[in-house]
C-alpha cells in the first residue's frame, strides 16, 4: 500500500516525540533488531490480502502460545553474541582437551573469559530459538512463517549446536567444553549465527505486534474482496488517546465521500487521524482500535492535514495546499482504491476564496468513485450546493454551550454543523479582556 512521508507524519505513525507516536505505543519488542524489523514492517504496508492474512495468522498463533513463549532471549544476549564475532580473541586450539584448555585459560585469561561469557549467551539464545521453533511447528503454518522457521532449523542442524542446547544451564561448563563451543561458534558458525539473529529479530517484531493486540485489546479486521472500496467500522477510536470516544463510520461505493463539519476542538482532526491509523494498521496485519472493522484492501492512503509553508523556497501556505491537492488528484486518478483524508481545505486564503476553491475541488473529487474520501471543513455554507450529489454524506461533531463554557461530546452525528465558536473561545480564554486593558 502506498503511503508518503507527509501521510506518515500527519497520522503520527512515527514521531520524534515518542509520546505522540503510534509506532512507539505499539512497540513491545525485546531487542534492537526486533525494533528495526518492526519499523521496517511499518514502512511497508501490504497491498496483498494474502500477506495481510498471513501476518494475522502468525499473530494469532503467537497469542495462542503466549504462555509458553520463551523469554530468555534478551537484547543483552543478542548484543553479547554480536560482540563475540566483532571482538579479537586469540586463536582457540583445535579439539581442546583438559590440558590445552587449562593452558589457554592461564595464558589468555581475558580471551577465555570473553569466550565463556559469550558461549553462555549463545546457549541461552539457541535454547530459546529451539523452544520457539517447536512452539510454531503447527500443521499448515502461514508460508511467511514456515519459510523463516525452516531456514532457522536448517541453520541449527549441527552436532555442536544440538550439544550446546542440551548442556545443563545450572552446571558450570568445563573449560574444555567452553573452548570447544567457542571455536565452533567463531570459526564455523559466524554467518549462520548472524542469520539466526536476523530470523529472531523478525520473530521478535511479530511477537511485539501480537503483544500490542493483546495489551491494547485490538481486534483483527475482516477484509472483503471486491472491486469497489469499502470501510465500515464500529467502535473506532484513536489509539493514542487514554480516554477515547468511539465512532461508528461507514464509507461504501454508494456513499464514498464524507463531508465533516464541527467547531474547533470538536474532534474532527482526531476522527480523521483515527480512521487513517486504523486502516494503516489493518494493512500491516495488525489488530485495529475498534470493536469491529470490515474493509477492502487499499492501494494507498494520502492525507492533507498539516500542510506547511516553505520559507526557503518562497512557497506560501496556500501554494503548498494547492500543490498537495494537485499531486493527490494526479495519484488517485488511476482507477485504484485510495483512502483520502483532508482536514480543512484551503486554510491559507480568505473565506470567500476558500469556499469557491473547496467547492470546485470537492465536486471534482466526487466524480472519483473508486476511492473513499473524508473531508473536514468549517465552510458549512458550501454543503447546500453539494447535497444533490448522491455519493456524499454529511456528518458533524456537536458542541454545546453552557454560559461561556463549551462542552464537546465528540459524538459523530448525521447532518451539518454551523457552529462558529472562535470569538467565544477568545473571550473564554480572556484574550478580549487582555486587549481591553491595553
**Would the CA dihedral through 264, 265, 268, 272 be positive or negative?**
positive
Residue 338 CA to residue 1 CA, distance in Å, equals: 9
Residue 398 CA to residue 265 CA, distance in Å, equals: 10
4 assigned to some structural domain:
no
**Mean pLDDT across the chain:** 92
Out of 145-154, 345-354, 376-385, pick the least confident: 345-354
- 36: buried, middle or exposed (CB in 10 Å: 19+, 13-18, 0-12)? middle
Per residue in 9-21, pLDDT (tens digit) is: 999 999 877 678 9
- Longest CA–CA span in the chain (Å) reads 94
174: CATH: 1.10.1420
Q: Are 269 and 303 in contact (CB under 8 A)?
A: no
Q: Which of 5, 78, 7, 71 is nearest to 301 (CA)?
A: 7
DSSP codes joined into one string, 150-192: HHHHHHT--HHHHHHHHS-TTSPPPHHHHHHHHHHHHHTSHHH
- pLDDT at position 19 is 73
Residue 229 CA to residue 115 CA, distance in Å, equals: 58
Task: Using a cut of 0.75, tell me whether the model's pTM lies above it.
Answer: yes
- pLDDT at position 274 is 97
Per residue in 233-274, pLDDT (tens digit) is: 999 999 999 999 999 999 999 999 999 998 777 789 999 999
Q: Among 162, 183, 215, which residue terminates a domain?
A: 215
Are both 136 and 260 inside the same structural domain? no
Q: Among 160, 195, 215, which residue terminates a domain?
A: 215
- pLDDT at position 403 is 66
- pLDDT at position 438 is 80
Q: Are 178 and 112 in contact (CB under 8 A)?
A: yes
Element (H, E) at 275: helix 268-282
Residues 6 or more apart in contact with residue 307 via CB below 8 angstroms? 317, 320, 321, 324, 347, 348
| Residue 309 clears pLDDT 70, i.e. is over it | no
Are both 235 and 156 inside the same structural domain? no
Read off the pLDDT of each residue in 53-58 and give the average, rounded to a whole number. Answer: 98
Q: Which of 419, 417, 414, 372 is nearest to 393 (CA)?
A: 414
Share of the chain above pLDDT 70, in %: 95
| Residue 308 clears pLDDT 80, i.e. is over it | no
Q: Which of 406, 15, 36 is nearest to 240 (CA)?
A: 15
Q: Which of 177, 160, 183, 174 is nearest to 91 (CA)?
A: 183
Residue with cell 472519483: 368
C-alpha distance across the termini of the chain, in Å? 55
The confidence band for 311, taking pLDDT boundaries of 50, 70 and 90, is very low
Domain count, the chain: 2
What does the DSSP 8-state code read for residue 247?
E
The confidence band for 196, taking pLDDT boundaries of 50, 70 and 90, is very high
Residues 6 or more apart in contact with residue 184 via CB below 8 angstroms? 158, 160
For the beta carbon of residue 121, count every other beta carbon within 10 angstroms: 20
Give the residues across from 287 on adjacent strands: none
Q: Among 199, 215, 231, which residue terminates a domain?
A: 215
Read off the pLDDT of each residue in 369-386 and give the average, rounded to a whole number. Answer: 94
Read off the pLDDT of each residue in 55-79 and give the average, rounded to a whole number. Answer: 96
Are both 425 and 287 inside the same structural domain? yes
| Residue 432 clears pLDDT 80, i.e. is over it | no
Element (H, E) at 395: strand 392-402
- pLDDT at position 411 is 86
- What three-state secondary structure class fits 203? helix
Are both 182 and 235 inside the same structural domain? no
Are both 182 and 58 inside the same structural domain? yes
Are both 62 and 93 inside the same structural domain? yes
- 140: buried, middle or exposed (CB in 10 Å: 19+, 13-18, 0-12)? exposed
- pLDDT at position 100 is 94
Give residue 360's domain range.
222-436
Are both 277 and 422 inside the same structural domain? yes
Amino acid at each position: 500500500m502506498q503511503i508518503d512521508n507527509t501521510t506518515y507524519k500527519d497520522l503520527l505513525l512515527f514521531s520524534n516525540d515518542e509520546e505522540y507516536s503510534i509506532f512507539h505505543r505499539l512497540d513491545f519488542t525485546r531487542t534492537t533488531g526486533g525494533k528495526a524489523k518492526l519499523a521496517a514492517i511499518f514502512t511497508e504496508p501490504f497491498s496483498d490480502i494474502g500477506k495481510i492474512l498471513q501476518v494475522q495468522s502468525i499473530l494469532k498463533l503467537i497469542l495462542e502460545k503466549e504462555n509458553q513463549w520463551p523469554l530468555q532471549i534478551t537484547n543483552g544476549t543478542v548484543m553479547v553474541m554480536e560482540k563475540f564475532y566483532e571482538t579479537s580473541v586469540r586463536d582457540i586450539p583445535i579439539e581442546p582437551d583438559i590440558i590445552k584448555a587449562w593452558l589457554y585459560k592461564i595464558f589468555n585469561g581475558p580471551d577465555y573469559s570473553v569466550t565463556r561469557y559469550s558461549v553462555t549467551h549463545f546457549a541461552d539464545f539457541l535454547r530459546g530459538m529451539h523452544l520457539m521453533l517447536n512452539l510454531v511447528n503447527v500443521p499448515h503454518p502461514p508460508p511467511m512463517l514456515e519459510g523463516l522457521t525452516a531456514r532457522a532449523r536448517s541453520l541449527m542442524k549441527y552436532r555442536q549446536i544440538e550439544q550446546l542446547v542440551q548442556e545443563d544451564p545450572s552446571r558450570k561448563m568445563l573449560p574444555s567444553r567452553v573452548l570447544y563451543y567457542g571455536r565452533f561458534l567463531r570459526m564455523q558458525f559466524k554467518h549462520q549465527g548472524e542469520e539466526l539473529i536476523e530470523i529472531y529479530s523478525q520473530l521478535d517484531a511479530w511477537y511485539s505486534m501480537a503483544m500490542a493486540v493483546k495489551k491494547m485489546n485490538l481486534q483483527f479486521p475482516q477484509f472483503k474482496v471486491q472491486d469497489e472500496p469499502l470501510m465500515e467500522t464500529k467502535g473506532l477510536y484513536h489509539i493514542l488517546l487514554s480516554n477515547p470516544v468511539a465512532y461508528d463510520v461507514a464509507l461504501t461505493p454508494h456513499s464514498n465521500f464524507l463531508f465533516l463539519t464541527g467547531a474547533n476542538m470538536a474532534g474532527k482532526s482526531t476522527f480523521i487521524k483515527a480512521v487513517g491509523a486504523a486502516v494503516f494498521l489493518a494493512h500491516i496485519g495488525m489488530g485495529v482500535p475498534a470493536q469491529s472493522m470490515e474493509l477492502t484492501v487499499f492501494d494507498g492512503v494520502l492525507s492533507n492535514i498539516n500542510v506547511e509553508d516553505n520559507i526557503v523556497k518562497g512557497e506560501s501556505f496556500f501554494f503548498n495546499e494547492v500543490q498537495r491537492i494537485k499531486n493527490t488528484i494526479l495519484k488517485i486518478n488511476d482507477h485504484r482504491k485510495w483512502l483520502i483524508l483532508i482536514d480543512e481545505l484551503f486554510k491559507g486564503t480568505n473565506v470567500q476564496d476558500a469556499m469557491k476553491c473547496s467547492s470546485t475541488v470537492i465536486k471534482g473529487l466526487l466524480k472519483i468513485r473508486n476511492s473513499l474520501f473524508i473531508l473536514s471543513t468549517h465552510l458549512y455554507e458550501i454543503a447546500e450546493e453539494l447535497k444533490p450529489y448522491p455519493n456524499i454524506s454529511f456528518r458533524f461533531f456537536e458542541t454545546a454551550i453552557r454560559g461561556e463554557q463549551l462542552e464537546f461530546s465528540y459524538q459523530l452525528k448525521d447532518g451539518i454543523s454551523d457552529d462558529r465558536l472562535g470569538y467565544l473561545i477568545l473571550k473564554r480564554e480572556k484574550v478580549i479582556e487582555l486587549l481591553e486593558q491595553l
